[in-house]
Amino acid sequence: MDFGGNIQEILTVSELTQRISNLLQEEIGFVTVRGEISNFKLHSSGHRYFTLKDEEAQINCVFWRSKQINFELADGMKVVVSGWLTVYPARGQYQIDCIEIFPLGLGDLFLKFEALKKKLDEEGLFDKKFKKELPPFPLRIGIATSSTGAAIQDMITTIRRRNPLCVIYFRETLVQGDEAKFDIVNAIQELNQVPLDVIIVGRGGGSLEDLWAFNEEIVARAIFNSRIPIISAVGHETDFTIADFVADKRAPTPTAAAELATPKTIDMLLEEVDFLFGELHNKVLSLIENYSDEIKYLINSYAFKKIEDRVAYYRQYLDELDERFHNVSTRFLQRRREILENNARHLALLNPMEPLERGYALLKHKDKLLDNSVSLSKFKSIEVIRKEETAVVRVEKVNRNLFV
């Protein structure tokens, strides 16, 4: 093809990528680079992927499982890597195919983490004797986390499923950035002013930098000083923060935290009621049987032969009491079970998110939900919240409904 008189060779993307790869290997080839590990991932295949970075740049690295290493890689570690500069064709990006990795020293964040961990451990903040027990059947649970992401939705869904009687107090909280540590402390202190049974503090997964707010000393002390038991739920199962060591209970994931906060489900509670009823009934039957044996003994004794009719009367009376007690206790426990189930259904209906399941929407302006007492004409724009999406709409005209 002629472009302005020049004959140009038309390459496929694969051919161009291969030429770039050949050029990098011929002109640069084997390199030795130092930097700090970030976004480290140990794949299920055993291969290790990470980013090597400094203050101004970064490069992807891969370290195959066939290569041996005598220490564990982690975010924040400073290392020297040696390997071939290659191109990963599927993404068209260059990377270092690592042959050897040597530790240059731990990163500043990792050192700060270990130093604070050692300091707080020596002060006793991790001591089991200070850990508060979680309530067996909490009815008020506080959650401090971000309003975005899957963590909050997973926790709410899990709690609602396991214990619909429970009321959730959600305090939207910054979980990343320079101001996050202060907001987490404020959230814990504010939730301690509410009569709660347990508090969940956490966020979804991320790098060491993303989770750093939960490694701050002021956050650790706020958790330790909480009068209400706290469950930490930070990151994934392999992530550990200072907050995990100080908290009364550590959960590997936010969903697991919701399960720890609701150890007894509503079904388990109903099973316990049935069990206790059976126990009570058996004990009463045992008592009645014992008294019946005593009465039989007295009837057969010489002293009471003449009052046999009277004993027979009381025996029949005891049978009637047994039947009456059985009927009354059955009705009482059945009624209590119905009340409990009705309350559970009623509380589920009071959930403001329940109508969204049926296609309805909530109207919101800033942080306030709008009910029928507030006219939409007061606002230039409002948020329409549905089950899986939120829309910001402009209010151009408001008419009164004729059927109101």
Strand partners, 234: 203
Residue 318: predicted pLDDT: 84
Report the greatest alpha carbon distance in the chain. Answer: 136
Looking at residue 77, its amino acid is M
Secondary structure of residue 90 in the 3-state scheme: coil
Helices then strands, each counted (H, E), the chain: 9, 16
Residue 310: predicted pLDDT: 72
Residue 167: predicted pLDDT: 94
Copy the structure tokens of residue 284. Answer: 């009463």
The Cα 163–Cα 160 span in angstroms is: 5
Residue 8: predicted pLDDT: 67
The Cα 146–Cα 134 span in angstroms is: 23
Q: Are strands 6-7 and 2-3 parallel, antiparallel or unpaired?
A: antiparallel
Any idea what the Cα angle at residue 176 is, between residues 171 and 182, rounded to 5°?
Answer: 60
- Residues of the chain short of pLDDT 50, as ranges, are 1
The pTM of the full predicted model, rounded to 2 decimals, is 0.49
Residue 4: predicted pLDDT: 53
Residue 2: predicted pLDDT: 53
Strand partners, 32: 82
Residue 140: predicted pLDDT: 95
pLDDT tens digit sequence for 212-244? 999 999 999 999 999 999 999 987 776 788 999
The Cα 200–Cα 143 span in angstroms is: 5
In the block, residue with structure tokens 């401090």: 144
Residue 208: predicted pLDDT: 72
Residue 107: predicted pLDDT: 53
In the block, residue with structure tokens 């606002």: 379
